[in-house]
Chains A and B, each alone.
Chain A
Amino acid sequence: MLLHAMQTSCITKQGAAAWPIRWTLALLLALGVHSTVARAADKPAPVLSPPQPVEHVPATYPAAAREARKSARVIVLATVAANGEVTAVEVSESAGEPFDSAALSAARRWRFSPARSDGKPIESQVQIPFLFHAPVELAETAPSPSPVLAPPPPVVPANEAPVERATVTEDRATRARPDAASTPSRDNASAEPTRAVAETAASKTSFASTITSKRLPPASRGAADFHVEIGALSAVPRKNASEALKLVPGILLTNDGSEAHADQVFLRGFDAREGQDIEFSVGGVPINESGNLHGNGYSDTHFIVPELIAALRVIEGPFDPRQGNYAVAGSADYELGLSQRGILGKFSAGNFGTLRALLLWGPKGAREGTFAAVELYETAGFGQNRDGRRATVMAQYEGRSAAHLYRITAQAYIASFHSAGVLREDDYRSARLGFFDTYDTRQGADTGRYSLSGLLESRVGSLLVRNQAYAIARPMRLRENFTGFLLDTQEPTQSLHGQRGDLIDLQSMAGTFGARGSAHLSGDIFHQTQEIEVGYFARGDLVTNSQHRVEAATGNPYAVETDLESRLGDIGLYVDFNLRPYRYIALRGGVRADLFTYDVLDKCAVQSVAHPSRENPPGDASCLSQQDFGKYREPIQRSTTTGSAVMPRASLILGPLWGISAAVSYGQGVRSIDPYYITQDAKTPFASAQSIDAGLSFARRLGPIDLSLRSAFFQTRVDRDLIFSQTAGRNLLSNGTTRIGSASAVRVIGGFFDLAANLTYVRATFDDTGLLIPYVPDWVFRFDGSLFGELPWDKLRIRGKAFRGTLAAGFTYVSPRPLPQGERSNPIAVTDLNATLGIWLFDLGIVATNLFDVQYRLGEYNYASDFGSQPFPTLVPMRHFSAGAPRQVLFSLSVQIGGGR
């Protein structure tokens, strides 16, 4: 089958007619093609060559076994790095001690000419059999590995279809991932690593080698499906995990909270707020917080250590049946991994009292998915009330046996930050406040996240079964004041009072537990691999939320606005087909159905009394228990209801032909309703989105570089959107909306550079009025680039060692965004830079974010507020903004001990 795959590749190369290519390229240009992240499925199969031993070290017959005069066979699985060194060994077939130890000791000293993919050295694994012959008399040693009498078994499980996967071997550190979208045959849920068996014969020995590759993503859903290998672009400055999203088109991140507050994400014209319209997950574990009062689906990714992001899959639309709740604008799944083995310690210090300490550990010999990380961060902040600190621990163990892959991930994160919130433009213009000042120093956030998850993948014949379970605890407290002194109404039953202050104190505690799994079956029909996957998703959430208003003068809460206890359930089933009737045609899709259950206890359901008792007036109580002259009524109310959704999704993919693929996708997605809006037995209103996406992609290796381009046009309609209200401090329902636009991306990877850029245009309007949806950017452009390698100047060598250097930059441009009242925001253009210089174990780095110290407004809003800055209340909508960070410079020193770079 490997031969077949390679033949296919050759046919593709040789048989590609010129005219369709020209037409396709012309169309690409006509559409203003810009880009895509490479998924090298469009690429021809790489040519693989196995590692070759260049230095054999025989094992010593263990003295402890001499008396027994025993023969034994030990098979050692050795990991061969790209430089040919053996970096890890483990016993694949044991003969027990002391034979195992003797074999391991010898295997560690072997050296190889590394395996190669398209001539490029890559990591691989080999099996080295050691045969221990019973010593004759007092023989000191047995020559081992002596010529193997029988070929050792390959390490690839017999039930793993090995051959075709050999076409996608990649070095994650330097290359974009192959595009599974157009891989002729691939495994949707392949238990990694995918391997190719390449039997070879070394001189005087024989062994089986396996070339490891990373785990493959599910089959692509077309032009809207981006699987981004971070690779060398990890050098581009990113403060948090969210910023990795910028590698895909159409992403804008803002934050009017703090670094302990989820970033607001705009994607393809969706104001996804803090995640309500994007299904976020990390390694398959959901991040969206169902029932969070601040935003149903709130997704704070600050708990992810950016250095651990190995890859990111973003689907800009609901096109994959695996996508579940919140996948309205799309989904984003972070894949964690640490390519470097050993211990990396990194300490950074910079202006504004910023300190960061990071410790990464990748146990030598363990898989990339095995790591541990600790991060400590502290800053005094770049302006008033922006100080904060956080600590993060992430650890993951990933192991593999013959037919199983298992992974356990644990994570803990705590953070406490103050935030400056927003400023009125008129107060800044009149110099009443500085650009980085604040109105209310009590604003901030205290958050945490603790999670534990486990994954087991098992293969039985051609069936791959995957199960994952997780548990998450998520405490959160937010304090925000968008309106100052505006919302405190004087109720007749209350004592006389003035405006006491609008500071919101929101507390949320969520416990999430769930599981997901799938069964994936593949087989050949019509000489093509056909696949089907059936999967489930189950999730339960226990959430308590309350929101108080706090008196400015005393700091005491004076009103309970909301007090909810929610028990939420979501069980989804899906079936997904990957059908390939012909080599260049793939039909992927299926249907997903979800049932949502809601059980909401509103503990502040009664907030007004029509006829209060004169003898026992309610006074200032928020959640009232009396009405009708003392007729008792509990202020609580429970509501239960359910809702279900059936969501068809399909993609038609043509190609790849000479690296070019065309795709059309259609899908429906839903966002479950905020528990705040639940009423007993009322039909649960969903936000339902229908999306269509059509695009072209090109991915191919051209000489020394990998080039990938992608451009897509899309339309999405949402029947019931959520628009954030600064006054309410939360999302409020609005009418239907439609987005239409295009997204494009390009990535070019060479031996010393990695460049990526993307551009998105979108027009987002309300269906009833045709007016633009406020805050959604029309144009977003992003560039990421990294230059890396050893410095070429011989004079700079120390003891023959050359310096290695990295220069990486990121640039973001956001066109003026529409604001309420027909206005436009200011544009945003920010450049970040990172430079490192290293030798031996050490690297020195400097990171400058907002390199040119542009004073910009990260977020701009039009609404009414009154912060008491004028003699009389200011009640009409006014421009507000949250300040973007000024230039921040961080110097870092990192030390790498053990392992390899």
Chain B
Amino acid sequence: MKRTATWLAPIAGLAVSLGCWAGCGDTTGGARVAFDVAAAGPSDATGGALTFMSPQGYRVTLDRARLYIGALYLNQTVPTSGAQETGCIRPGIYVAQATGSLWVDALSPQQQPFATRGEGIASEAKAGELWLTAGDIQRIDDNTVIVDAAGTAQRGGQSYPFEAQLSIGRNRLIPSMDPAYPGTNPICKQRIVSLIPTDLIPQEGGTLLLRIDPRRWFDTVDFSQVPKVQDSPALYRFSNRNDNPADLSLFNNGIRSRSGPYSFSWQGT
């Protein structure tokens, strides 16, 4: 302690005492905030069918693209490439959450509010999480449809009318390949789209907006590998299992992609 500070203590104490009778408005820093939470499709969507060219060379027309979001969270954790994910709940401080479930029409550019308001703290968020579940994040036997999409993909004169109704349960469970690590792949890791890069600070009264671009779900999908389930009219349906390359592409590289389909932004105050 500096000597001057030591001997000035009584004087400073007097000043503080006299000046702060009603409190000095000091703070511990930060603030707890409540805000609206909404999700929407891409801003260039029209609300109707969405047509686009996928990187795989398919001209895709999406007639339906819905995603069930159980909850979303924002965390201070900075995404690190190659970092091994651990449990369902990440270390670090969660700065925002919205626990009201929502079916999001990803073809609509309109904001679709969550059932409950979001809450959090006014602190910088670096990563977002989407919890794609209708209930217990660890429940294995759960057939709730999380993704409901339909449309037509065309390439080289071949048309692939398709639909996808994906669930995340035992069908997505990845058994441990190493008996030494029985807990490597908990089902929650299949259900959580995690570490979506984000950079925002929640504020009181604003709106946390999640934009979902369903076009990016199909970036790596080769529709020719989608099982054909009906001839007339033709219909290709994603298998909803991990045993099909197209399904894996849609699920792992599309729906669960941390970058591309999803983006968070802050609107309002």
Contact = CB atoms under 8 A, between A and B. Distances in A.
A679 interface: no
A495 B27 contact: no
B99 A874 contact: yes
Nearest to B189: A490
Interface in B160-185: 178-184
A497 B32 contact: no
Prevailing SS type, chain A contact patch: loop
A862 B32 contact: yes
Most buried by B among A497, A717, A872, A874: A872
B179 A872 contact: no
B201 to A, nearest CB: 13
A1 B30 CA distance: 65
A870 B73 CA distance: 14
A31 B10 CA distance: 10
A875 B119 CA distance: 10
Interface stretch (A70-78, A341-349, A612-620): A612-620
Given A690-B1, A714-B9, A715-B12, A877 B121 contact: yes
B255 to A, nearest CB: 19
Given A493-B180, A694-B9, A740-B9, A876 B26 contact: no
B86 interface: yes
Contacts of B122: 821-822
B178 A666 contact: no
Given A489-B86, A715-B9, A823 B32 contact: yes
Interface string B194-207: 00000000000000
Contacts of B113: none
Interface stretch (A126-134, A438-446, A767-775): A767-775
Q: Which size bracket describes the interface of B in this complex?
A: 35 or more
Interface stretch (A192-200, A447-455, A796-804, A812-820): A812-820
A59 interface: no
Nearest to A614: B180
A612 B184 CA distance: 13
A792 interface: no
B82 interface: no
A741 B180 contact: no
A498 B9 contact: no
A497 B7 CA distance: 59
Interface stretch (B89-97, B225-233, B237-245): B89-97
Contacts of A409: none
Contacts of B184: 492
B119 A713 contact: no
A818 B17 contact: no
A876 B97 contact: yes
B183 A496 contact: yes
A741 B99 CA distance: 43
B70 to A, nearest CB: 6
A32 interface: yes
A551 interface: no
B14 interface: yes
Contacts of B23: 778, 815-816
A490 B26 contact: no
Prevailing SS type, chain B contact patch: loop
Contact of B183 (A490, A666, A715, A740): A490
B156 interface: no
Contacts of B138: 496-499
B30 A822 contact: yes
A624 interface: no
Contacts of A761: 16-17, 20
Given A489-B86, A778-B20, A878-B119, A612 B180 contact: yes
A681 interface: no
B231 to A, nearest CB: 41
Contact of A872 (B99, B181, B186): B99
B43 to A, nearest CB: 28
A765 interface: yes
Interface string A730-753: 000000000011100000000000
Contacts of A857: none
A55 B254 CA distance: 107
A492 B9 contact: no
B94 A864 contact: yes
Nearest to A769: B29
A818 B119 CA distance: 20
A611 B181 CA distance: 9
Most buried by A among B20, B101, B182, B183: B183
Nearest to B96: A876
Contact of A821 (B10, B96, B121): B121
B131 interface: yes
A329 to B, nearest CB: 16
Contacts of A666: 6
A495 B70 contact: no
B70 A819 contact: no
Contacts of A771: 26-29
Contact of B20 (A614, A763, A765, A819): A763
Interface string B117-138: 0011110000000010001111
A25 to B, nearest CB: 17
Contacts of B6: 666, 690, 692, 715
Interface string A16-48: 000000000000000110000000000000000
B48 interface: no
A289 B32 CA distance: 37
Nearest to A613: B180
A429 B22 CA distance: 28
B182 A493 contact: yes
A818 B27 contact: yes
Interface in A471-523: 486, 488-499
A815 B95 CA distance: 28
Nearest to A32: B17
Contact of A617 (B18, B89, B180): B180
Contact of B1 (A499, A713, A717, A778): A717
A871 interface: yes
Contact of A741 (B1, B16, B32): B16
A692 B71 CA distance: 52
A494 B5 CA distance: 54
A493 B18 CA distance: 59
B86 A741 contact: no
A247 B187 CA distance: 57
Interface string B29-52: 111100000000000000000000
B97 A821 contact: no
A271 to B, nearest CB: 12
A822 B31 contact: yes
Contacts of B55: none
Contacts of A15: none
Contact of A713 (B13, B32, B181): B13
A822 B183 contact: no
B136 A494 contact: no
A494 B182 contact: yes
Nearest to B21: A761
A741 B13 contact: yes
A694 B97 CA distance: 49
A434 interface: no
Given A715-B9, A717-B1, A874-B97, A772 B182 contact: no
Contact of A497 (B70, B135, B183): B183
B164 to A, nearest CB: 24
B83 interface: no
A666 to B, nearest CB: 7
15 contacts: A492-B182, A498-B136, A614-B180, A617-B180, A692-B6, A692-B7, A742-B14, A771-B27, A818-B28, A821-B122, A870-B99, A873-B89, A876-B95, A877-B32, A878-B119
User: Sorted from nearest, which 7 A-B pairs have the closest CB atoms?
Assistant: A713-B13, A715-B9, A498-B138, A875-B94, A872-B71, A490-B87, A694-B10
Given A714-B9, A771-B28, 16 more contacts: A32-B17, A489-B86, A490-B88, A491-B86, A492-B184, A692-B10, A713-B9, A717-B1, A818-B28, A819-B28, A823-B31, A872-B97, A872-B99, A873-B71, A875-B73, A876-B120
